[in-house]
Amino acid sequence: MEENSVLLIDKPAGMTSFGVVARVRRRLSQQLGKKAKVGHTGTLDPFATGLMIIVTGKECRNAQQYSKLDKVYEATVRLGHTSTTGDPEGELSDVSAREPSVEEVQRALKGFVGEITQRPPQFSAIKIGGRRAYDLARKGEVVEMPERQVTVFSLELLEYAYPDVHIRVHVSSGTYIRTLAEDIGKVLETGAYCSALRRTKVAEYSIEDAWAIES
């Protein structure tokens, strides 16, 4: 591990992005014999796994440059329920037991390719009035999240075995896969949430070149 560098980490489920940064900072500080400067270039939700680009030392000044890169995810969209957080960590509600056909699912996915409008989830790191949206949401405050334009470059159905729709999606920076899952559920009139999420690429950076956090 070197100072002033880019480090690719495969984040495990259950760990926060800040936890990953703290682990790298502790290890690098021990190695350098001084407090190391370490930052991330975009968070992953605690339940999610996959590629995080960590920057150290002087490379931290370029963090925003990396955060604007497009990304590839593999996700599981679970039909039939909604979640208060859009993921497995929220409170689930039954919506519908209807089982859409594979043709319906493919048609729904096709409708999200291109430039689309999203309303980010309340449980997100977006700042509203200087405060993180998830902090406000946890306190029970109703937050009006501003809509944003994002681009879905491709959306591929990998497997469909009701209630799980497994997809691979290539998106622009700022796209929320939890919101995409919820919107797919609305189109299919079944409800849905993102039950599993893995980031596999950030531009030309690949999960295949990442270190496990235990390393």
Residues with a known catalytic role? 45
**Residue 81 exposure: Cα atoms within 13 Å on the Cβ side:** 19
Burial of 41 (0-12, 13-18, 19+ CB in 10 A): buried
Give SS3 for 25.
helix
What is the number of H-type helices and E-type strands within the chain? 5, 14
Q: Would you say 112 and 184 are in contact if contact means Cβ atoms under 8 Å apart?
A: yes
Read off φ and ψ for residue 127, nearest 5 degrees: -90, 130
Q: Would you say 40 and 20 are in contact if contact means Cβ atoms under 8 Å apart?
A: yes
